[in-house]
Amino acid sequence: MSSENNSTITKEERRRVDAFYWAGVLIWAGLVFGADSLGYLPQIGGAEAWSWVFLGAGVYGLLGSLFRLASPGLSDPTVGDYVWPAVFLIIGLAGFTALKIAWPLILVLVGVAILASTLLRRK
């Protein structure tokens, strides 16, 4: 058993996590745009293909962060691992609900994340 801190993440591990995330997002986007071009994409509210892409990217990112948090062999997610998926979820849900306050919500979320990251950072 190693005594190293599980919350530290190496640059190589960060690259692998990021590559895994963006590969999944690109696959999801391809499936969404493919379904849209074939007429199979469900029409809910005013949602277009981009709403589905952002919604899926947000859900995928949050699930990935929760998986990393629950897996003892993986490093803990960072604040950014929660903020970006939340931003994507807000953008995606705005297309389904015609949410007019999506951008103000995103600004508040990013500001809170920066503040939390600064306050939680160890010297």
pLDDT in tens, 13-25: 888 888 999 999 9
Q: Residue 2 and residue 89: Cα distance in Å, rounded? A: 36
> What is the pLDDT, as a whole number, of residue 22?
93
Closest CA to 54 of 76, 32, 71: 32
Domain annotation covers residue 59: yes
86 CB-side CA count, 13 A: 16
Domain annotation covers residue 47: yes
Domain annotation covers residue 1: no
Handedness of CA 17, 66, 81, 78 (dihedral sign): negative
Domain annotation covers residue 79: yes
Domain annotation covers residue 2: no
Domain annotation covers residue 103: yes
The count of domains in the chain is 1
The proportion of the chain whose per-residue pLDDT surpasses 90, expressed as a percent, equals 28
Q: What is the mean pLDDT of residues 81-97?
A: 85
Domain annotation covers residue 3: no
> What is the pLDDT, as a whole number, of residue 2?
41
Domain annotation covers residue 6: no
Q: Is the pTM of this model over 0.85?
A: no
For residue 113, the enclosing domain spans 11-120
